[in-house]
Amino acid sequence: MVLKLSFILTVLIQIGVPLGLGFWLARRAANAGVFTRKAAWGIFGVGVLTFIGSQVVHLPLLAGLTALFKLPGMWQPSAAFAPWFNAITLGLLAGLCEEPARWIGFKLLRAKARPHLAALLAGAGHGGIESIFIGLMVLVNFVTMLAVQAAINSGASLPANLELLKAQAGLFWDTPWHHVLAGGVERLAAITLHISLSVLVWRGVTAARGGGWWLVGAILLHGLVDMLAVASSQIWQWPVWSIEALVAALALGTAGLALWAWRTAPRPEPPLAAEPVEP
């Protein structure tokens, strides 16, 4: 029962938090007179499209590099360096695909990208749609395993081709409940990270000069976070909650940097009052 509640809570976090955040930001933007709610959701949607567009490039590129390194005669990292090579490559690929996509999204928004809330809305859309996709996959898997469990408990005979699914269901229901909940916590950290990186890229887009360095910094920071996440899991083999603590700490550190970038960003000056015309 606890395991089932953990799955339900995790799915609610993964799907509900991004949608709730979108509604809250859209309402805040409308109340502040920065955007209409329709425009705010449009910026959120641009964030969604930047994530999808980045994956259209990221996934084939990852598959292509994997196939390339399997070719005969291709250079191979040493056995000792191979895990780090994989972690660094995975991290940099994520940064190189996602951060320029954010930049392009802000450029497409043009004048709508100038207000500070645009950075939050686009970041929430970018990280939110990733969380929703993951939440939907978890939900489908959960419902499937519930159906398999119900069939097993009823004594119904399963087709031969579903015996493998029966074995998978056994492993599924043996998952520690707190490991499931860690998936929800990970999404909260990931959404925080995406919004923070969005603010950094927005800072570059709106900068009068030297904006490209903000993009480079966001790429490298994204790559570092992903590299450490992969290393803690595959190289150091930390426990689940130690990995989540590391990711959360990195996300909060990036949020602190984003807050500094936000506060130091130049605000548009108010228009000067017209001087009286002498008769």
Each domain of the chain, given as residue ranges in start order, spans: 2-70+81-264
Looking at residue 73, the DSSP 8-state letter turns out to be T
pLDDT of residue 190: 98
Instruction: Report the SS3 class of residue 138.
Output: helix
pTM of the model as a whole: 0.92
Per residue of the chain (279 residues), give pLDDT as tens.
899 999 999 999 999 999 999 999 999 999 999 999 999 999 999 999 999 999 999 999 999 999 999 999 999 999 999 999 999 999 999 999 999 999 999 999 999 999 999 999 999 999 999 999 999 999 999 999 998 888 877 776 666 656 677 788 889 999 999 999 999 999 999 999 999 999 999 999 999 888 999 999 999 999 999 999 999 999 999 999 999 999 999 999 999 999 999 999 876 544 444 445 454
Q: Return the sign of the alpha-carbon dihedral for residues 116, 118, 119, 120.
A: positive
Mutual orientation of helices 211-230 and 240-264 as an angle, nearest 10°? 170
pLDDT at 147: 87
DSSP single-letter state for residue 156: P
DSSP assignment letter at 79: T
